[in-house]
Amino acid sequence: MEIQHNVSLAPLTTIGIGGPAHHFVRVSSVDELREALAWAREKVLQVFILGGGSNLLISDDGFDGLVIQLDLRGITVENEDGFVMVKAGAGEPWDAFVEHAVERGWAGIECLSGIPGSTGATPIQNVGAYGQDVSETIARVEALDRTSGRVIWFTSDECRFGYRSSFFKNVEPGRYVVLSVTFRLRPGGCATIRYPELQRHMEQAGVSVDDLPGVRGAVIAIRKKKGMVLDPDDPDTRSDGSFFMNPVISSEEFEAFAKRAPEAPHYPAGESVKLSAAWLIEHAGFTKGFRQGNVGLSSKHTLAIVNRGGGTAAEVVELVGMIQQKVRDTFGVEMHPEPNFIGFD
């Protein structure tokens, strides 16, 4: 295990922002992970577990502790009751894993194509897009308990999945390190299409629900139009993807909101109502391509905060605050960021 020092973290993130890790190590086995955690305990250092570098904003001061980048790889397969159980190491790149499943005709995660980051991060955030969430197909999660040092298996129910939330994120943040995720996929199954925009695109392109590669292609095509697929030649993709979660409000809160914005799109979310974060941002006065210093909003999608070159975390935080305040003043709705903020007070 080789500990490095003062390693720049910006190149390891999708938004390209962040100061250095005072200490850094890449691990490719559970034993190396345990060794790295023990080293940090001995030095009395904070620890941050880094995956694919998406969905996070690192402070300009960096991280004053040990950053551990997980590189746990491997995909294993077994059948169970007519389903295929696919176990993927936490360090497997997520989109490559989705492609692996689609190519083999395993349905259940095809609408999650084109999302950057690592497989191990998906249960923490309960990653979702275009009508699918990973919680629909996750059978179990293998994790290392940093408190006891034991490896524990969590069932899907024990993960306590919610909208962009989980036991790992909201109940015991930082305690567990995800080692692998096992998905329960349908061999020869059809895609689950719930998102109207995707449905329209598929109809126009003549893609059927049993054509998983075609569905994956449709999802990626839509994401590319919004700058949501990493492309070194497209500055709009130098982002964390969707920076704000779609607000979920109570029925009573929606009654008050509807008086201010009767034309606003909204969707049922159990007994609550989900609003469109992009609509709120745009109608609060922020246009596509809006710029604030060296950062701004994507010219393709108002949900994405992008690094225009030389951007800083301080500039992102300032823009986030501006958007939150304006939406709050205009609609009385709170906007919550989706990425994790690392190295901030």
Please answer whether residues 319 and 306 qualify as being in contact, where contact means their C-beta atoms are separated by less than 8 angstroms: no
295 close to 306: Cβ distance less than 8 angstroms? yes
Compute the C-alpha angle 68/55/140, nearest 5°: 70
Beta bridge partners of 283: none
Q: HSE on the CB side for 210, CA within 13 Å?
A: 1
Q: Give the helix, strand, coil percentages of the chain, each rounded to 5.
A: 30, 30, 35
Longest alpha-carbon distance in the chain: 60
The pair of three-digit structure tokens given for residue 302, joined into one six-digit string: 């108002």
User: Half-sphere exposure of 275 toward its Cβ, with a 13 Å CA cutoff?
Assistant: 29
Report the DSSP beta bridge partners of residue 80: 83
Alpha carbon 313 to its chain centroid, in Å, reads 18
Q: Which residues are known catalytic residues?
A: 164, 242, 338
